[in-house]
Amino acid sequence: MSPKVLEFYEKTRSFNDEELDELMKLILDDPRLSEDILDLALIKEAETEGGESVTLEEFRAGKRTYNVK
């Protein structure tokens, strides 16, 4: 993992609730980032149901889909 990513993550861990809410709003207001977050949430749900790990690239390529029960 990139040192810049780890540094950013460590900084966010020190945010208070208001700062974290502001960061999440910025992220969710960004179309590309919000789409990635939604895809990752669906992947986590698919992994929970199917027990298999899948990458974001595999998910987007249709190699693994999320099936609603």
Model pTM score = 0.57
Rounded to the nearest 10 degrees, what angle do helices 17-29 and 31-50 cross at?
A: 100
The total of other beta-carbon atoms located within 10 Å of residue 43's CB is 19
pLDDT at 67: 57
Report the amino acid identity of residue 69: K
Name the least confident of 1-5, 31-35, 45-49.
45-49
Query: Within 13 Å, how many C-alpha atoms sit on residue 48's CB side?
Result: 9
Q: What is the pLDDT of residues 15-32, one digit of tens each?
A: 999 999 999 999 999 999
